[in-house]
Structure 1
Amino acid sequence: MYWLAAVLACAAFAVLALWLMLRARNMQIWIGSYLRRIPPRVDDRPVHVMFCFVDHFEPGWHGAGIDTQRARVDRWCRDYRALAERHRDADGRPPQHSFFYPEEEYAPEHLDKLAELCADGYGEIEVHLHHDNDTEANFRRTLSGFCETLHQRHGALPRDPASGELRFGFIHGNWCLDNSRPDGRWCGIDNEITLLRELGCYADFTLPSAPSDTQTRTINSIYYATDDPGRPKSHDTGVPAYVGGETQGDLLLIQGPLGLNWRDRRFGIVPRIENADVRGGQPPTPQRVDAWVRTGVHVLGRPEWVFVKIHTHGTQEADMDTLLGPRTDAMHAYLESAYNDGKRFVLHYVSAREAYNIAKAAEAGREGNPHDYRDFLLPAPKSSWAGSGRNPR
């Protein structure tokens, strides 16, 4: 009997230790979804890889003065141009960087420089926002005004051909979409998803946010969230986008890959979280690229169109050597060698807007080359190469 009690005590201790480890990284939110998910199966058709790099681009990060901000933006406009020019996808396009620029850090000179970079063929500008204890009226005023400024002053953001309204992609500051932080900080609006839809948001690109407690139970998905205006985190679950379907909620969310990295383990035992974040301490190694593609984020019914959305905070000095240097250069070289042979894989560098258009084309049942659907519903803004009539250098 004593040995049985000892075994049960050890088992209970092990379960408690595991639970505490999961809680420490907020993994209890999503680990069940991860373990239940069945990787998609693809037949003998080539897998088209849509590679989308989104950036919480914050020149004023950490309270930087204007000279530091200028240096950060200037380095991006110089070094990214040089890096991207060395690479091409299957369609002959260079890597596309989606600059989600924060409204509260607006500076015309920074956006003018980014708009020129985008007009030369290297990306597009979208909307980022940090706010706290906000109100619906202020949120509407803030976002609508910022979108008009981006469009009128900097040629960013497209107009919907059908309605004429401005459309934008969105990343929420501090990951707190729809007031999703348990303590209510860094948002304050429980009906934010409804407001985003009404203001013209075509899709949200905030997730994954792990290990933050704002992470959703839904992972590795392209799905629609339906807002509950009286409760936060309405996007915790939703309806997957699928071939032959149509809009199934208030807002489309395009998530990046999230899982466990078994090839990078603490103490050789505990796997690290793979959350699609690229920075100095998390360089984009070939093993990570393989994991991103293998996750297979897709519109249900079109598993051969894989979406790889990764993210970064591009203006932080500790990360820029990685993002603008040899490690990211090597990432693109690996993508172009391992995932662009034209037989097993076809690589497409896409902006956030293009990822949305291709996802909607898949939903509409379109097949073939996703390149044909980069502008499926929303045209390119004037600040992009396609919208400006200029050619990549």
Structure 2
Amino acid sequence: MSALAWLGVLLLAGVAGAALVVWRFVRARNMQIWLPAWLRRGARPAHGGPTHVMFCFVDHYEPMHGRPDLETQRARVDRWCRDYRALADRHRDADGRKPQHGFFYPEEEYLEEHLAKLEALCRDGYGELEVHLHHDNDTEANFRASISGFKQLLHERHGALPRHPGTGEVMFGFIHGNWCLDNSRPDGRWCGLDNELILLRELGCYADFTMPSAPSDTQTSTVNSIYYATDDPLRPKSHDRGVPVRVGGTPSGDLLLVQGPVGLNWRDRRHGFVPRVENADIRANYPPTPGRVDGWVEAGIHVEGRPEWIFIKIHTHGAPEKEADVVLGPDVDAMFSHLERKYNDGERYVLHYVNAREVYNIVKAAEAGHGGDPNDYRDFILPPPPNRVAPAAPAA
């Protein structure tokens, strides 16, 4: 074989080896699930006027994570109720609003004294309580009983969760434990219900906030979207695809899903050239750098036809000490400062700190054709829960 032929063989071998390395990198992070959709994404349509940035921080808030003793649980909750006040008080959006924290509290970890403390924090304007659930090999009857009982408990004992003004039903936002919404884990663990989207709708869930879950294999192929999913009760992971919410559209399917940003983070490369997976997760090993914040904005998640309103939903598991050090510390403090400095100039960008319920309301306002200032639509359909409503002034 000639030298030129050998060179060709070596080049082909090098290309094949590089391709194998890339494929292993992709499979190790389950990127084959979502990467094609991310690569096909188009640019956010141009628009006149400023971009309004709705920033929503949701928390899989689990004070019993790791099964600590009661004193450790109390210390975790007390730290949050003390330090989050100090953190949020240093920041304001364009509407004069503090950052809002969504405490998605696990039904199976309920302890009245923990919720009473979080209720007081929410009553003072720092966030709202919502529903979180870890379950495994569940039944429809048990799921209905668990969710129905918990939402009533949160509403009646802790003043959380709004009532729908038309039906009077207690409504809730939802995050599934272990990312396994609609039985989406391939081995069937940590759920068990192929009709979970239907059940959530029937039980009063106004929207799901579980995604993204990358690098988990529960991640959907749909990314960076706000959409309606229709449940196939005979198959899992029915929310893998759906119908985008659009201006002038009508609700469809069984459940509204609000996703956070996912993609490749080229600003934070490992070894100088390997991009990290952006999954909207704030953790001790993945703090919110200014580059990540810029990437969230660039993801441009919006209701179709309303590109000037973008939604950033990030998440965390903020109760354990290691994660609390980040979420209550200088990294998140700097994140808020970066948002307020770069994305709140009133000309190119206007920043709005919103909770999950307000995200739903603003999305529905966009769907109904409303525009302008999204601050006008924070309570568009669902009102604040009782613990966020100022008491009436006493009669003279």
Following the alignment from structure 1 to structure 2, what is the Cα–Cα distance between the partners of residues 228 and 255? Answer: 20
Worse-superposed segment, 320-329 or 287-296: 320-329
Superposition map of 1:222-261 within 5 A: 222-261=226-265
Structure exhibiting the larger radius of gyration computed from Cα positions: 2
1:136 aligns with 2:140: yes
1:219 aligns with 2:256: no
Task: Identify which of 377, 382, 396 aligns with 1:378.
Answer: 382
Kindly provide the CA deviation profile for residues 226-280 of structure 1, in whole angstroms up to 9, marking residues without a partner as x.
0000000000010000000011211000000001111111211110001111122
Give the alignment's Cα RMSD to 1 decimal.
1.2
Following the alignment from structure 1 to structure 2, what is the Cα–Cα distance between the partners of residues 5 and 238? Answer: 46
The corresponding residue for 2:186 is 182
TM-score by structure 1 length?
Answer: 0.97
The corresponding residue for 1:264 is 268
Change (3 A) 1:388 1:32: farther
Following the alignment from structure 1 to structure 2, what is the Cα–Cα distance between the partners of residues 377 and 20? Answer: 46
1:327 aligns with 2:370: no
Change (3 A) 1:152 1:131: same
Following the alignment from structure 2 to structure 1, what is the Cα–Cα distance between the partners of residues 194 and 68? Answer: 31
The corresponding residue for 2:76 is 72
Task: For residue 54 of structure 1, give the secondary structure of its aligned residue in structure 2.
Answer: strand
The corresponding residue for 1:344 is 348
Kindly provide the CA deviation profile for residues 130-159 of structure 1, in whole angstroms up to 9, marking residues without a partner as x.
000000110000000000000000000011
Task: For residue 129 of structure 2, give the secondary structure of its aligned residue in structure 1.
Answer: strand
Task: For residue 63 of structure 1, give the secondary structure of its aligned residue in structure 2.
Answer: coil
The amino acid of 2:323's aligned partner reads D
Change (3 A) 1:388 1:35: farther
Task: Identify which of 110, 116, 135 aligns with 2:114.
Answer: 110
Kindly provide the CA deviation profile for residues 12-66 of structure 1, in whole angstroms up to 9, marking residues without a partner as x.
3222222111100000000001110012033231100000000000010000111
Contact 1:169/1:202 (CA < 8 Å) preserved in 2? Answer: yes
Superposition map of 1:12-27 within 5 A: 12-27=16-31
Following the alignment from structure 1 to structure 2, what is the Cα–Cα distance between the partners of residues 168 and 265? Answer: 38
The amino acid of 1:281's aligned partner reads N
Superposition map of 1:283-322 within 5 A: 283-322=287-326
Contact 1:284/1:327 (CA < 8 Å) preserved in 2? Answer: yes
TM-score by structure 2 length?
Answer: 0.96
1:363 aligns with 2:367: yes
Following the alignment from structure 1 to structure 2, what is the Cα–Cα distance between the partners of residues 83 and 6? Answer: 57
The corresponding residue for 1:95 is 99
Deviation, 1:320, is 1.2
Contact 2:197/2:254 (CA < 8 Å) preserved in 1? Answer: yes
The amino acid of 2:338's aligned partner reads Y
Q: Where in structure 1 do 4 or more consecutive aligned residues deviate above 4 Å?
A: 387-390
Task: For residue 90 of structure 1, give the secondary structure of its aligned residue in structure 2.
Answer: coil
The amino acid of 1:29's aligned partner reads I
Task: Identify which of 190, 193, 204 aligns with 2:197.
Answer: 193
Q: Percent identity?
A: 68
Following the alignment from structure 2 to structure 1, what is the Cα–Cα distance between the partners of residues 254 and 283? Answer: 32
Contiguous gaps of at least 5 residues in structure 1: none
